[in-house]
Amino acid sequence: MSWDKIPTDLSNLRVTQDNTDSGTGRLVSYRDAIRDALRLALKKDGDVFLFGEGIDDPTGVFGTTTGLQKEFGKQRVFDTPICENALTGIGIGASLAGLKPVLIHMRTDFMIISMDQLINHAAKWKYMFGGKKPVSLVVRAIIGGGWGSAAQHSQPIQALFAHVPGLKVVMPATAYDAKGLLLASIFSQSPVIFIEHRWLYDHKDQVPAGPYFIPLGKGIVRKEGKDITLIADSFMVALAMEASKELSREGIGAEVIDLRTIKPIDKELILNSVKKTKRAMVLDFGYEFCGISSEIAAFVNEKLFGCLKAPVVRVGLPDIPTPASPILEKLYYPNKDGIITAIKGVLHG
């Protein structure tokens, strides 16, 4: 899809949903796909600008902003003081003035300070003013543990944002999706929380060189199966795929759904799959208590209780703060073997 065909409403956009869409044979990493999307948006639209903490550092926010300030100048790509609430307010004000800001928070933890701006302003303006003043703000934030990030620098709090009417929450699991979803988010005329898992930055797949858009709210079946549906987001998609492939050697067919966005959720895709398999497991890289997995389990039970062969099972994080110790982290975070054990429990329990 070319820039000349950017739709005004991306919510109902239909595009090819696999990695062959106008493929060029380019094997691109998740981080480079994000930088590519930002570069294309900055080049196409002079109203797009990028700001946040660490943008002009040598590492460029895990490599996702490297070289952009040099190419587009300090007025459109710039570092900021550590003042998250004020930065978010600036982004909202710039959007209301007609610009398309992309704000980067190095951690979702830092966004807690911005909750007033996000919940009471970004999410509400469109509704308070009859749709005449949409907030076209994208907030990029990073989750994921490792190297002792601990309780204040690795909180996967996507469910907090998904709980708020008016906010959209995107969690891409592949490089292809990261580029297409980020471009769609920037031009969606909605406040979007765009969450990236740091363990995905080195993952590579086929990514077209030109612009393309993936609609917000549309999931995808990554792998078909007949015995159980695995509903996953972000890094959990990679774990679900590994578990599914291993189980296939034992004759177990696990269907894997990549949610892509958790607000809105593609309920139709989920229900159609679970109707077929009669069993479901939800894998969310967030806390199980009051989390995304709870919401999905609830509506699956409400809609399909009569045809389920087993209760819907959830896999996520325990209700405790993230430990700093690498040894404790291995116990804290879900892994492939634990997922396989849980799947077998659903099938044979």
**Predicted TM-score of the model (pTM):** 0.92
Q: Do residues 142 and 291 both lie within one domain?
A: no
Q: How far apart are CA 41 and CA 61, in angstroms?
A: 18
- Evaluate if residue 57 carries a pLDDT over 90: no
The whole-number pLDDT of residue 300 equals 98
Q: Is residue 211 part of a domain?
A: no
Domain extent at residue 278: 220-348
Q: Are 204 and 28 in contact (CB under 8 A)?
A: yes
- Residue-by-residue DSSP string for 26-89: -EEEHHHHHHHHHHHHHHH-TTEEEEETTTTSTTHHHHTSTTHHHHH-TTTEEE--S-HHHHHH
Residue range 62-77: average pLDDT? 94
How many CB atoms within 10 Å of residue 21?
Answer: 16
Q: Are 111 and 139 in contact (CB under 8 A)?
A: yes
Whether residue 264 has a cis bond before it, omega within 30° of 0: yes
pLDDT band at residue 24 using 50, 70 and 90 as cut-offs: low
Identity of the residue numbered 159? A
pLDDT band at residue 11 using 50, 70 and 90 as cut-offs: very low
> Strands 77-79 and 220-223: what pairing?
unpaired
Q: Do residues 194 and 291 both lie within one domain?
A: no
**120 contact partners, CB below 8 Å, separation of at least 6:** none
For the annotated catalytic residues, the residue numbers are 153
Q: Is residue 213 part of a domain?
A: no
Q: Do residues 227 and 195 both lie within one domain?
A: no
The whole-number pLDDT of residue 20 equals 41
213-228 pLDDT, tens digit each = 999 999 999 999 999 9
170-203 pLDDT, tens digit each = 999 999 999 999 999 999 999 999 999 999 999 9
Query: What CATH number corresponds to the domain at position 79?
Result: 3.40.50.970
Apex 54 CA angle, 323 and 324, nearest 5: 10
Q: Do residues 76 and 155 both lie within one domain?
A: yes
100-124 pLDDT, tens digit each = 999 998 888 989 999 999 999 999 9
Q: Do residues 114 and 35 both lie within one domain?
A: yes
How much of the chain, in percent, has pLDDT values that exceed 70? 93
Q: Do residues 72 and 153 both lie within one domain?
A: yes
Beta strands in 272-324 (DSSP E): 280-287, 313-317
Q: Do residues 103 and 232 both lie within one domain?
A: no
**198 contact partners, CB below 8 Å, separation of at least 6:** 62, 142, 143, 144, 146
Q: Which of 206, 238, 265 is the last residue of a domain?
A: 206
Q: Is residue 212 part of a domain?
A: no
118-167 pLDDT, tens digit each = 999 999 999 999 988 899 999 999 998 776 788 888 899 999 999 999 99
